[in-house]
Amino acid sequence: MSHTKMLRVIITSTILLLSLLLARPPPADSTGSQFGRGGSGSSSDDDVYIVYMGAANPTNLAMKEAVLGSLLQSGGRQEMDILNTYSHGLSGFAARLSAKEVESIAAQPGVVSVFPDSNLQLHTTRSWDFLQDLSGSNAVPPLPASSRPDSSNVVIGIFDSGIWPEAQSFRHEGTNLSVPRGWKGTCVTAADFNETACHGTKIVGARYYISDSPRDNDGHGSHVASTAAGAAVEKASFYDGLAAGTARGGSPPAKIAVYKVCDEDDCRSRILLHAFDDAIADGVQVISMSLGSRHLKEFLEDPQAIGAFHAVEHGITVVCSAGNSGPRPSTMSNDAPWIVTVAASTVDRDFRSDILLGGGKVVKGEWIGLPDLSRSPIYPLIDGRSAKAGNVSFRAARGCKPGSLDKKKTRGKLVICDIKDEGNDGKYINQVVEVAVKGGLGVIIANNESKRVAQYLWDVPITKVGSREAAQLMAYLKTNRKPLATILQTVVMGNYTPAPEVAFFSSRGPSSKAADIIKPDVTAPGVDILAASSLGEESPNKPKGRPKSSFNIASGTSMSCPHVSGVAANIKAANPAFSHPH
Between CA 398 and CA 404, with CA 401 as vertex, the angle to 5 degrees is: 75
**Options 160, 216, 350, 383, the catalytic residue:** 160
| Neighbour-count burial for 210-222, b at 16+ CB within 10 Å, e otherwise | bbebbbbbbbbbb
Element (H, E) at 319: strand 317-321
Distance separating alpha carbons of residues 120 and 265, to the nearest angstrom: 8
Distances (CA, A) of 269 to 120, 259, 292, 296, 557: 7, 14, 9, 11, 20
**Options 558, 560, 565, 579, the catalytic residue:** 558
Question: Among candidates 500, 556, 493, 497, which has minimal Cα distance to 350?
Answer: 493
The dihedral sign for the CA sequence 31, 34, 37, 42: negative
Distance separating alpha carbons of residues 296 and 293, to the nearest angstrom: 7
| Amino acid (one-letter) located at 538 | E
Whether the ω angle into residue 26 lies within 30 degrees of 0, i.e. cis, is no
Distance separating alpha carbons of residues 477 and 380, to the nearest angstrom: 10
Distance separating alpha carbons of residues 128 and 134, to the nearest angstrom: 10
| Amino acid (one-letter) located at 308 | A
160 is catalytic: yes
Distance separating alpha carbons of residues 181 and 333, to the nearest angstrom: 33
The alpha carbon torsion through 311, 312, 316, 318 (nearest 10 deg) reads 90
Contact 240, 59 (CB under 8 A): no
The dihedral sign for the CA sequence 373, 376, 377, 380: negative
Contact 123, 291 (CB under 8 A): yes
Between CA 463 and CA 468, with CA 467 as vertex, the angle to 5 degrees is: 100
3-class secondary structure, 97: coil
**Options 91, 104, 123, 220, the catalytic residue:** 220
DSSP letters, 332-383, are: -S---TTSEEEEEE--SEEEE--EEETTS-EE--B--------SS--EEEEE
Distance separating alpha carbons of residues 428 and 432, to the nearest angstrom: 6
Contact 117, 94 (CB under 8 A): yes
- Looking at the annotation, which residues are catalytic? 160, 220, 558
